[in-house]
Structure 1
Amino acid sequence: MKLLGGAGVFVLLVLVFTGAARADDYTFAGQWRQTVSTAGRCDDCYIGIVMHGEVLTVTSNNGWEAVLNIQSLVGRDFAVGTGHWKATVGGAYGGKHFDIQLVRSGANLQMFMVVSQEKGAPISLRATFEKGRPLKNSRYVSPVEIYWI
């Protein structure tokens, strides 16, 4: 009986730590540094994500914001939503609206963005992020700024 009790405690501890690791591994929340983008290299680009239950608010340091809903398909979490580039952003993106998807891929976060255009085909962007605080030269987006979009 004592052996079964010890084994039960061991199984419970394994489940608790495995569940905690999985929750941490697959969460969207936090600061994410951009590592690759089809829009070009940007060593100081990053996003901040805050989870509100099944809703994510995302703020970037390069001028876009989005709200997404977490969904699950075949046991894999992803998020889908819409956002906009601030009007002060120059070039083809300034003031434009977009659709966005975020997918966890191991330790990375994959972003797929389709920016609407008044004329012509939409612009498709892909980026990969790794979890981590922004570089020292970047403007840090505090969680308060992220929350109030």
Structure 2
Amino acid sequence: MISWRRALRRLFAVLLMLGCALAPTAVSANGAAFPGEWQQVASATDACDTCWVEIRRNGPVLKVTGKDGWFAVAHLGRVGGDFSAEGIGRWNDSGSNDYRGLPFGLRIAIVDDHLYMDMVVQMDDGSTRAVRAIFDKRRSEKTGRLVALRS
């Protein structure tokens, strides 16, 4: 019998793979949709209403910063062209989570205005742990876009 957590993790893994496969038809060209603040709306582990990431772009490079204490640098076009990004990062040394100071690999893609994130953390014992989440643009940014469209 599969536990509900395991089933949820499998569901998110399938959604992430589907998101990467559909990304070329769902994202604006040249990674223009990545920059901004993204609010977490779903996760394969625990729900987090206060979790968000900020993405800034410098050419083909994205700087991704998580509110919960991590940062990464990702390059557009490594997987799926300009519709996704792949890179590396590290959890901050401070904090109280299990990932403190650990490196990770990161893949992100935008599908249907959602950011899909797949993080693989390299644990001290050599094992890996997957952190998967889905994000939506922060409401303040959406409101600004809607106001501009109505004008």
The normalised TM-score by structure 2 is: 0.68
- Taking the aligned partners of 2:66 and 2:102, their CA distance within structure 1 comes to 15
Q: Which residue of 2 aligns with 1:28?
A: 34
User: Shift of residue 77 of structure 1?
Assistant: 1.0
Unpaired runs of at least 5, structure 2: 1-26, 141-151
Is the aligned partner of 1:131 residue 2:137? Answer: yes
Q: Structure 1: which 4+ aligned runs deviate by more than 4 Å?
A: 23-26, 72-76
Structure 2 vs 1, CA of residues 69 and 43 (structure 1 numbering), >3 Å: closer, same or farther? same
Contact 1:25 1:107 in 2 (8 A): no
Contact 1:26 1:104 in 2 (8 A): no
Is the aligned partner of 1:113 residue 2:119? Answer: yes
Identity %: 33
Root-mean-square deviation over aligned CA pairs: 2.3
- Taking the aligned partners of 1:29 and 1:37, their CA distance within structure 2 comes to 21
Structure 2 vs 1, CA of residues 72 and 119 (structure 1 numbering), >3 Å: closer, same or farther? closer
Match 1:77 to one of 83, 90, 101? 83
Q: Residue type of the partner of 1:33?
A: Q
Contact 1:33 1:45 in 2 (8 A): yes
- Taking the aligned partners of 2:138 and 2:31, their CA distance within structure 1 comes to 13
Structure 2 vs 1, CA of residues 32 and 81 (structure 1 numbering), >3 Å: closer, same or farther? same
Q: Which residue of 1 aligns with 2:54?
A: 48
Unpaired runs of at least 5, structure 1: 1-20, 135-149
Q: Which residue of 2 aligns with 1:96?
A: 102
Q: Which residue of 2 aligns with 1:17?
A: none
- Taking the aligned partners of 2:139 and 2:128, their CA distance within structure 1 comes to 31
- Taking the aligned partners of 2:93 and 2:72, their CA distance within structure 1 comes to 14
- Taking the aligned partners of 2:80 and 2:103, their CA distance within structure 1 comes to 29
Structure 2 vs 1, CA of residues 104 and 26 (structure 1 numbering), >3 Å: closer, same or farther? farther
- Taking the aligned partners of 1:25 and 1:76, their CA distance within structure 2 comes to 5
Which has the larger helix fraction?
2
- Taking the aligned partners of 2:39 and 2:97, their CA distance within structure 1 comes to 22
Is the aligned partner of 1:122 residue 2:128? Answer: yes
Q: Which residue of 1 aligns with 2:65?
A: 59
